[in-house]
A and B are shown apart, each in its own frame.
Chain A
Amino acid sequence: MDVFLLSRLQFALNISFHILFPTITIALGWFLFYFKLRHDLSGHPVWMRIYRFWVRVFALTFALGVVSGVTMSFQFGTNWPGFMEKVGNVAGPLLGYEVLTAFFLEATFLGIMLFGINRVPSWLHTLSALIVAVGTTISAFWILSLNSWMQTPQGHEIIDGVVYAKDWSAIIFNPSFPYRLGHMLLASGLTASFLIAGLSAYRMLKGDDKLAPQLALKTAVFAAAVLIPIQIFVGDLHGLNTLKHQPQKIAAMEGVWETEQGAPLLLFAIPDEVNRTNHFEIGIPKGASFILTHDLDGEIKGLNEFVGEHPPVAPVFYSFRVMVGLGILMLLVAWWSSAQIITRKELPDYLKKGLVWMTFSGWIATLAGWYVTEVGRQPYLVSGVLKTSDAVTQLPPEHVGFSFVIYAALYSVLLVAYIKTLFLMCRRSVEIEEISQEEREQARKYKQRVANA
């Protein structure tokens, strides 16, 4: 194994593991703020119940995101020194702003959220929840700005082979950034929604007949039902933007080997990189051209125009179909569940089971989406500016092999522990009584305060 392949594998492992957690916490932060706000406005202890359960999930998820994020910040310099040497003048400040404006905010106010319940007034607690949600979103802003710049770079100049920043607003708000940010925030919203719905459904199936999981499930299913059509729309815009700036990525996503008018929308195929063709194509005639150019006979540039400059086709092609397929499944499940809740006031068991199966569907869709965009940028690390192979380290392969084994072992244990712990928390919360004496007392005091106000 050479050090290039090992470093790529390690980085792929690391970002794949890492993104699982931010994709939950970004939106879960906003859900928590909503739950806390509902509690403040209604005084009903059930919202506090929901908040307390999910704030613990948030804390665990956040911790895993932090520790896997720290390892990435080391790898930029150790495994990809060429990245900072060549584009560090752009990447550095964006990463710096993320640390300064987001990380401290999240970590500090999460402390208040978790441990301050008896120490701070309710309004400050709610404010902390809001600040944490804003923090996670700011974090997404900066990191997606950097990633988008790597996809569609602008606002820089190259002097003696080194990139210098010329116009920061052009760099931050580069062409693909608004679409990628929107797409990721919505992906996070859906991931969190299906997680909340799935775990709440699991609790109900385990005999939890309390109000908390019912309300949480309802909130999550409605949120998913609203977000998924928006996501499909934004995803389509994102695709059109990619067609404009990275046509080779679209060609790989659609499996178009030769430039053609009226390209079909392939539902299934097996791309063959060696013979530069697809096997077993099943497609909708002229579909791809219609979606991408809004013209049945529109021209789609094929991979033949980018020989040696286009990504490996199979992973991009398959990942794209996994993402879209899951999106459609999410749409069906969310809308059908919402319809059931609205008309029958409750979900039939088969739908609850379906939601349990869909608990981590957001993870798979998010991963697939990132594979499309990241593998789709290859062989470049920064489109047209820096090739991935030119950025790699000169470290001895056995050193990278050592770290890869350590990370792989740790991450697999942690992933299993994380999932098991979530379901364990659900089973344990089934046994907890509906409303404790303390909560009754709190609710009574709250009502008094409102009456006196």
Chain B
Amino acid sequence: MTFEFLSESQLATIYIGLLGLSVLLYAILDGYDLGVGVLLPSDNQEQRDRMIASIGPYWDANETWLVLAIGLLLIAFPTAHSLVLQALYIPATIMLAGLILRGVSFDFRAKVKQGQKAIWDKCFKAGSLITTLAQGYMLGLYVTGLETSIWAHGFAVLSALGVTAAYAFIGACWLILKTEHDLQLRAYAWAKTLIWVLGAGIIAVSLANLSLHDFVRDLWLSTPSGLFLGAIPLICFSLLVLCGVVLRRLPNSQTDNEPAQGEWLPFLIAILVFLLSFMALAMSYFPYAVPGQLTIYQSLSSADSLRFLLVGVVFVVPCILAYTFLVYRIFSGKAEQLRYY
């Protein structure tokens, strides 16, 4: 057997790390294409076409990170998977319905008569919105430790709105990078509005987070970890302020035939904000698989099975990252009209 030298607790750490990586990559990657779906305007078919063209080559692979994340949770921490997803059964079902609606709309819209395209676009937008709200709601309930109190549901609703705003924000930043002219100006406007919502959301969730669990509060209010954790919302804020400045300046610095320098900046800042928010969450709740209830060590499946799968992970994950990078290289630059074969 390979990886014999890894103890159970090391395996648990490795797998929660992999799970975290999948969730983070999912939130960033599917985040932007869900966000683009949420932002679809109802007043302009041509802009809708271009927006969907900008995510065309990527969305399917982006969604696969969710399959991997759910798969890793199921494989490495089966009891946590059952506990979490049975508690979140209804919102998870609603999320899946949203994902189904969205995934098929993408393909149907390109094949039907022009008149029906707008209907599938509406389905695409609705599916995206249902998905983001449900995901935010699930995240909210999850960090409360799957409580059923009215406060927990209130927090979950707040989280649903926050996650939707975050996805829409990164979606708008993606559009700034991938589109031109009138649509790009529109994306700038969306991003400017969403920055305020996102800033408010980060404050609200940070404060609410402190009141949820004693162990989290103790961690945040102790040194030195508290200093580090406390720095995260501050850095996020500075980044959002910087982003606001960038968003104001960029549209003025471009000419008709020269795109502005630094159109990638908002998207990069959005990624950093996602990364920091995720780190704050991860550090607050490690080593819990279900906050306050179940640790990753208690819910770990058989070590030998995990060692067997790790062989594949070590070889395959770098390949996945490499060819994902290749695809981003191939389709770099502004999105073309959707030439769908």
Task: Point out residues on A near B: beta carbons under 8 Å.
Answer: 52, 55-56, 59-60, 62-64, 66-71, 73-74, 76-78, 81, 84-85, 88-90, 92-93, 95-97, 99-101, 103-105, 107-112, 114-120, 162, 164-165, 168, 393-395, 399, 402-403, 406-407, 410, 414, 417, 421, 424-425
Contact = CB atoms under 8 A, between A and B. Distances in A.
A84 B74 contact: yes
Interface in B108-138: 108, 110-113
A85 B82 contact: yes
Among A394, A395, A403, the most chain B Cβ lie within 10 Å of the Cβ of A403
Contact of A393 (B61, B86, B306): B86
Given A63-B107, A104-B320, A414-B104, A74 B92 contact: yes
A95 B78 CA distance: 13
Contacts of A406: 93-94, 97
Nearest to A420: B112
Contacts of B250: none
Interface residues of B, number: 63
19 contacts: A56-B341, A63-B103, A67-B100, A78-B85, A78-B89, A81-B78, A89-B301, A90-B305, A93-B305, A93-B312, A99-B71, A100-B316, A110-B60, A111-B60, A111-B61, A119-B330, A394-B86, A399-B90, A410-B100
Interface of B: 56-58, 60-61, 63-64, 66-68, 70-76, 78-79, 81-82, 85-86, 89-90, 92-94, 96-97, 99-101, 103-104, 106-108, 110-113, 301-302, 304-306, 308-309, 312-313, 316-317, 320, 323-324, 327, 330-331, 336, 339-341
Nearest to A93: B309
Interface of B, helix, strand, loop or mixed by DSSP: helix
A89 B82 contact: no
A55 B323 CA distance: 21
Contacts of A76: 74
B111 A107 contact: no
A414 B60 contact: no
Contacts of A84: 74, 78, 81-82
B109 to A, nearest CB: 11
Contacts of A425: 111
Given A56-B111, A399-B89, A414-B104, 7 more contacts: A63-B60, A84-B78, A85-B79, A93-B305, A99-B64, A164-B302, A402-B93
Given A67-B100, A120-B330, A100 B68 contact: yes
B331 A103 contact: no
Given A117-B341, A165-B308, A410-B101, A107 B60 contact: yes
